[in-house]
Amino acid sequence: MTEMLIFERSRPGRRAYAQAPAAEDTIDIPAQFLRTDRPLLPEVSELQVVRHYTRLSQQNFSIDTNFYPLGSCTMKYNPRACNALAMLPGLANRHPLGPVSQGQGFLACMYELQEMLKAVTGMRAVSLTPMAGAQGELAGVLMMRAYHTSRGDHTRTEIIVPDAAHGTNPATATMCGCVVREISTGPDGDVDMQALKAAVGPKTAGIMLTNPSTLGVFERRISEIRRIVDEAGGLLYYDGANLNAILGKVRPGDMEFDVIHMNLHKTFSTPHGGGGPGSGAVGVGKRLEPFLPIPVVGKDDGGAYRWFSEEDLPHSIGRLSGFMGNAGVLLRAYVYMRMVGKDGMRRIGEFATLNANYLQARLKAAGFEPAFPHRRASHEFIITLKTMARTLHVTAMDVAKALLDQQLHAPTTYFPLLVPECLLIEPTETETREALDRFADAMIAIAEQAKVDASKVKGAPYTMPVRRLDDVKAARNLDLAYKPGA
Partner 1 sequence: MSELPGELLYTEEHEWLRQEEDGSVTIGITDHAQAALGDLVYVELPEVGAELDAGDEMAVVESVKAASDVYAPVGGTVLEVNSDLADDPEKINSDPYGDGWIVRMQPNDLDESNTMDPDAYQELLDSLED
Residue ranges in contact with partner 1 by CB under 8 A: 414, 417, 420, 471-472, 475-476
CB closer to partner 1, 119 vs 418: 418
Q: Tell me how many degrees the CA angle 356-359-360 measures, rounded to the nearest 5.
A: 80
* Minimum CB distance to partner 1 smaller for 434 or for 471: 471
> Residue 473: which H helix or E strand, with range?
helix 471-476
HSE (CB half, 13 Å, CA atoms) of 68? 17
CB of 67 to partner 1, least distance (A): 24
Nearest to 66 by CA among 435, 377, 453: 435
Q: Which of 374, 476 has the CB closer to partner 1?
A: 476
What DSSP character marks residue 187? T
Q: Which is nearer to partner 1, 10 or 184 (CB)?
A: 184
Cα–chain center distance at 383: 21
Closest approach of partner 1 to the CB of residue 141, in Å: 21
Choice between 97 and 472, CB closer to partner 1: 472
State which residue, 57 or 174, has the beta carbon closest to partner 1. 174
Q: Radius of gyration over alpha carbons of the chain, in Å?
A: 25
CA distance 369 to 423: 11
Q: In angstroms, what is the minimal distance from the CB of 214 to partner 1?
A: 14
Backbone dihedral region of 33: left (phi > 0), alpha (psi from -120 to 50 degrees) or beta?
alpha
Separation between Cα atoms, residue 244 and residue 431, nearest integer Å: 14
d(C-alpha 212, C-alpha 243), whole Å: 8
Rounded-to-integer distance, Cα 3 and Cα 26, Å: 34
**Nearest distance from residue 177's CB to partner 1, in Å?**
17
CB of residue 391 vs partner 1: minimum separation in angstroms?
Answer: 12
CA distance 455 to 473: 21
Q: How far is the CB of 417 from partner 1 (least distance, A)?
A: 6
136 in Cβ contact with 261 (< 8 Å) = yes
Nearer to partner 1, 307 or 414 (CB): 414
- CB closer to partner 1, 22 vs 478: 478
Calpha distance 382→211 (Å, rounded): 15
**What angle, 0 to 180 degrees and rounded to 10, lies between the N-to-C axes of helices 104-121 and 327-365?**
30
Q: Which one, 154 or 476, has the nearer CB to partner 1?
A: 476
179 beta partners: 158
Q: Judging by DSSP bridges, how do beta strands 381-384 and 369-370 pair with one another?
A: antiparallel
Whole-angstrom Cα distance, residue 163 to residue 423? 18
Closest contact distance (angstroms) between CB of 390 and partner 1 is 8
Q: Which is nearer to partner 1, 81 or 417 (CB)?
A: 417
- Type of residue at 90: G
Closest CB to partner 1 among residues 339, 417 = 417
CB 360, min distance to partner 1, A: 21
| CB 37 to partner 1: min, Å | 38
Which residues neighbour 351 within 8 Å (Cβ) at sequence distance 6 or greater? 429
Give the whole-angstrom CA distance, residue 203 versus residue 154.
9
Residues 6+ apart with CB under 8 A from 298: 111, 305, 306, 307, 308, 312
CB of 475 to partner 1, least distance (A): 4
Please report how close the Cβ of residue 381 comes to partner 1 at its closest, in angstroms: 20
